[in-house]
Amino acid sequence: MKNVIEVKNLKREYVTTKGWISRKKESLMAVAGIDFSVKEGEIFGLLGENGAGKTTTIKMLITLLAPTSGVCNVLGYDTFKEADKVRGQINFVFGGEMGVYRRLSARDNLLYFAGLYKIKGEEAKRRTEELLKLVELEAASDRLVETYSKGMIQRLQIARGLINNPKIIFMDEPTVGLDPLGANMLREIIRKLKAEGKTVLLTTHYMQEADDLCDHIAIIHKGKIVAQDTPKQLKVRFGKNGADSTLEEVFLCLCKS
Ligand SMILES: Nc1ncnc2c1ncn2[C@@H]1O[C@H](COP(=O)(O)OP(=O)(O)OP(=O)(O)O)[C@@H](O)[C@H]1O
Ligand SMILES: [Mg+2]
């Protein structure tokens, strides 16, 4: 399987102004030189504590943020210099954020987003119905999104993230705030995407979820990757009880300092 994501010595520094009066500049290396690659068709988990640099990494991968230095390639293209070649082939879902219109129905949302990708007419309708079915929103498809539960909105966001039939879908905390049933339904959708041959890169703070879903995991701590492997090998390498350890134990061991 070929690599569809390649990241080498990738860095991103944020420079912020400290206060309104002193105007002193402060810089933070949010991503401090990371390396990883993701193979076509796998589910890859990026785990790390709050502020570790996960969202910053995803933003660089999805062409929304310029790297300070390093290699950031998606589908063989530089996500900054060749952003236009990448954008049509990927999509993303950020958990807990509104990426859909509340005053439209699910169906109208999807038709609208299809239009943004220049998918029109019958093709847009077909794709919309297919996705409503995938995320199990057919029965509610004509209701305004403002009447939806959090889980329904999150499923609609996934459908929105698939409208352009992306080769890679990036999901930043896709199950945040969902009840166990909603989270489970979402994980099933993620598995279906993998079965269709799509590549998924996700972040999550739920270790069991990462363990269940991911083929490979990279653990990022203070902007650096401290370990990457299959969930099983991470346990063997870093867990107190070897393969019988939990991923949470591995995480706590690697991120405690
Ligand atoms: N726009 C910004 N300007 C300045 N600093 C930022 C900016 N965005 C993020 N940071 C800082 O960069 C670091 C990494 O943030 P990032 O959002 O990538 O972390 P994260 O791993 O996604 O965390 P979380 O799990 O809380 O979502 C943090 O210290 C954060 O405060
Ligand atoms: Mg984040």
pLDDT at 22 over 80: no
Domains of the chain: 42-64+86-254 (3.40.50.300)
Substitution candidate for ligand 1 out of 16, 28, 206 with most atoms within 8 A of CB: 28
Task: For ligand 1, say whether the CB of 55 is within 6 Å of any of its atoms.
Answer: yes
Greater confidence, 76 or 256?
A: 76
Ligand 2 center from residue 110 Cα (angstroms): 25
| Closest-lying ligand 1 atom to the alpha carbon of residue 55 | 22
The pLDDT, as a whole number, for residue 97 is: 66
Ligand 2 center from residue 119 Cα (angstroms): 31
In this structure, the strands spanning 90-94 and 168-172 are: parallel
Ligand 1 center from residue 205 Cα (angstroms): 15
The pLDDT, as a whole number, for residue 70 is: 98
Ligand 2 center from residue 238 Cα (angstroms): 24
The pLDDT, as a whole number, for residue 233 is: 97
Measured in whole angstroms, how far is the alpha carbon of residue 77 from the centre of its chain? 19
pLDDT in tens, 113-154: 999 999 999 999 999 999 999 999 999 999 999 999 988 999
pLDDT in tens, 71-119: 999 999 999 999 999 999 999 999 876 789 999 999 999 999 999 999 9
Type of residue at 199: T
pLDDT in tens, 47-72: 999 999 999 999 999 999 999 999 99
pLDDT at 257 over 70: no
pLDDT in tens, 203-238: 999 999 999 999 999 999 999 999 999 999 999 999
pLDDT at 1 over 90: no
Selection from 127, 199, 200, 202 nearest residue 163 by Cα: 127
Task: For ligand 1, say whether the CB of 89 is within 6 Å of any of its atoms.
Answer: no
Rounded alpha-carbon distances, angstroms, from residue 60 to 29, 34, 72, 157: 14, 12, 7, 20
Lay out the sheet containing 168-172: strands in order across. Answer: 90-94, 168-172, 199-203, 43-47, 216-221, 224-229
